[in-house]
Amino acid sequence: MFIQTILLLASEFTFTAPRAAVVRLEVEFQKPYLGQKLELHSAGQKIYAADRFVGAVALVRYRCKTAKTIRERVTVLEQGPDLGERPPFERTVKLVGGLVSDIQLFGYEGAEAPSAEEVKRHWRRFRQELFLDGEQRPFAVLEWVHALDGIRLLAAKGQ
């Protein structure tokens, strides 16, 4: 099974993008939530709340002094049998002061920790392509696994 793949232990990567832009990626992996309260805030506003969240969270920060925007395109490569289809996702975010943050969240609001069988059946493997300022070629391609017991970065490749 792919989850047994060796995981990247580093949480910081540097990529050289078009026009010699340097992009630094920092990932902070959180411990799995097993029915604990979870609140996420952005600019002082609550954007998500669950009294008993079961799942995983990772905080991602992108730093680039010369770019104005980062666009991401996310495609599901494979997933567990119990999950519905998820179409490709694309969005562009503005860097403010050379920084933008992203919260990766996978799970549900539940009453108790998932069984071992549930963990095996609820996961997704994603490909995330990253672009600067309207470029057509990605400066980096990341491969992630989102599962109830953690979010993992399997690969981080500069283009």
CATH number at residue 111: 2.60.40
Provide the pLDDT for residue 80. Answer: 94
Which residues touch 139 (CB under 8 Å, ≥6 apart)? 15, 16, 17, 18, 21, 23, 130, 131, 132, 158, 159
Q: Measured between alpha carbons, how far is 116 from 120 in angstroms, rounded to an integer?
A: 6
**Residue at 3 is within a domain:** no
Instruction: Find the domain containing 108 and state its range.
Output: 11-158
Mean pLDDT of 135-147: 96
**Residue at 6 is within a domain:** no
Provide the pLDDT for residue 10. Answer: 44
The residue that leads in pLDDT, 66 or 4, is 66
Provide the pLDDT for residue 2. Answer: 37
**Residue at 52 is within a domain:** yes
Mean pLDDT of 35-42: 87
Global confidence as pTM? 0.86
pLDDT, one tens digit per residue, over 41-99 is 877 888 888 999 999 999 999 999 999 999 999 999 999 998 999 999 999 999 999 99
Q: Measured between alpha carbons, how far is 97 from 95 in angstroms, rounded to an integer?
A: 6
**Residue at 4 is within a domain:** no
**Residue at 5 is within a domain:** no
Nearest alpha carbon to residue 75 among 148, 28, 136, 124: 124
Which residues touch 70 (CB under 8 Å, ≥6 apart)? 23, 62, 64, 92, 93, 95, 100, 130, 131, 132
Provide the pLDDT for residue 118. Answer: 84
Mean pLDDT of 121-137: 95
Q: Measured between alpha carbons, how far is 11 from 28 in angstroms, rounded to an integer?
A: 7
The residue that leads in pLDDT, 93 or 20, is 93
**Residue at 2 is within a domain:** no
Provide the pLDDT for residue 74. Answer: 97
Q: Which amino acid is at 91?
A: R
**Residue at 135 is within a domain:** yes
**Residue at 154 is within a domain:** yes
Provide the pLDDT for residue 60. Answer: 93
Provide the pLDDT for residue 20. Answer: 78
Is it the case that residue 8 has pLDDT exceeding 50? no
Q: How many domains does the chain have?
A: 1
Is it the case that residue 101 has pLDDT exceeding 80? yes
The residue that leads in pLDDT, 13 or 43, is 13
